[in-house]
Amino acid sequence: MKFFLDTANLDEIRQGVSFGVIDGITTNPTLVAKEKRPFREHVIEICNIVKNGEVSAEVVATDTAGILRQAREIATWHPNVIVKVPTIPDGVRALSVLSKEGIRVNMTLVFSAPQALLVAKAGAYFVSPFLGRLDDIASDGLVLLREIMDIYKAYNYPTQVLAASLRHPLHVVSAARMGAHIGTMPYKVFEQLFKHPLTDRGLEGFLKDWEKARETLGDVFEPAPARNPTR
Ligand code: E4P
């Protein structure tokens, strides 16, 4: 499963990328607006930080002609940019044109299996079902993901399933068990994936026992080099 971070914050992206397990980034207009920087410049900077990872940047037009114009423009910004388009009728119409032009499109705001079926037929590169937002209205996001995985498998659609709006580690694990190609998560959820109290407690115990026996263990490791105080 590929891990994407769902953020436009450069500090979070740099921090995430430092672990070597982040495969890409998804942004949306809300996330980009929070950063208060020129959109194009910001997306290019994200692409340069994630190097080979794919970076989704979303159009804000809602009519087919406007979506086509913005999508074609965004697609020129960087070879790793994926254009995000909302799953509305005009968006699907634009998708059919863009996919024939070889522009990779992430169809976003998907909340039903029929929507997922439509965007696969129109040539979406990614389909983004929003699991958390369905859970928020007492519907089960994971049920939708299961339906999409089954349908895409039955017809061998090449569209990759990007499980989005993941709110906690269990969402990530369930999406991985279903074989979702990608999971995109806020930095906070990514951090939660590392945590287990038994890991912390276990390590604390190991280090305490080591310290207690310190004198008998010999100087196996070189001491860490002293830091240059002027830096
Ligand atoms: C995905 O591409 C979306 O940006 C995102 O997952 C939305 O998540 P939210 O419901 O937490 O805002």
Domains defined along the chain, listed by start: 2-192 (3.20.20.70)
- Which residue's CA is the nearest one to ligand 1's atom 2? 26
Say what the pLDDT of residue 111 is: 98
Q: Would you give the DSSP letter of residue 164?
A: B
Say what the pLDDT of residue 219 is: 83
Cα dihedral 183, 188, 192, 193 sign:
positive
- The crossing angle, in degrees rounded to 10, of helices 169-177 and 187-194 is 80
Cα dihedral 100, 103, 106, 109 sign:
negative
Mean pLDDT by runs of 10 across the 231 residues of the chain is 98 98 98 98 98 97 98 98 98 98 98 98 98 98 98 98 98 98 98 98 97 89 78 54
- Which residue's CA is the nearest one to ligand 1's atom 8? 165
Say what the pLDDT of residue 45 is: 98
**Distance between CA 75 and CA 48 in Å, rounded?**
15
Say what the pLDDT of residue 227 is: 77
Q: 165 with 144: CB under 8 angstroms? A: no
In this structure, what token pair is assigned to residue 26? 């998804």
In this structure, what token pair is assigned to residue 201? 């407690």
What Rg do the C-alpha atoms of the chain give, in angstroms?
21
Cβ of 133 below 6 Å from ligand 1: yes
Cβ of 168 below 6 Å from ligand 1: no
pTM for this prediction = 0.94
**Distance between CA 23 and CA 17 in Å, rounded?**
8
Say what the pLDDT of residue 228 is: 73
Say what the pLDDT of residue 229 is: 63
